Amino acid sequence: MKSFSILFGLGLFLTSLISNCTDYMGAPKDKSGGKMNFEVQKSEDDWKKTLSSEQYRILREKGTERAFTGEYYYNKEKGKYYCAACGAELFDSNTKYESGSGWPSFFKPASDKAVHSETDTSHGMTRTEVVCARCGGHLGHVFSDGPAPTGLRYCINSVSLKFKKD
């Protein structure tokens, strides 16, 4: 009976662990814990057809690109940054700054409704994930060590962005 209890407990633990991992990999959750509905809805197969393998890994599987390797990290041109998955306007170059983090950094989104933030407890730490408000694509994370006027640092993967020059 003791062996059964241990195995049963281990089974519950593994089920919980797997459930938490798959929840993390899925779409962002709303305030009540349900999956958020986005204006742009596609099956994962459709996203795979639409995005490059690297874009899919970052935007849909919540990956990240290596620091200092992103296409827009060093970009100093004036223009707007759009979601690489759905084309929604996300950031303006006037809010981009050099944070030294290795990823393009912005102190605010293009509008209050451009991005959603979500608590991310992966990798043994608590961070705030940033997703596109239109399609739910993973963009990066936001931190509270940015410059005035917001004090925020939106640390965004270049792969999740498309830039259009003014």
Q: Is 21 a catalytic residue?
A: no
- Residue 21 marked ligand-binding: no
Residue 13 tokens, joined:
């633990």
Give the integer Cα–Cα distance in Å for 38 and 64.
Answer: 22
- Amino acid identity of residue 30, one-letter, is D
Residue 102 tokens, joined:
């290795």
- Residue 135 marked ligand-binding: yes
Give the integer Cα–Cα distance in Å for 163 and 166.
Answer: 10
- Element housing 21 (H / E): helix 2-25
The secondary structure of residue 164, as a DSSP letter, is E
Question: Which is the catalytic residue, given 88, 130, 155, 156?
Answer: 155
Known binding residues are 83, 86, 132, 135
Q: What residues act catalytically?
A: 155
Known binding positions for Zn(2+): 83, 86, 132, 135
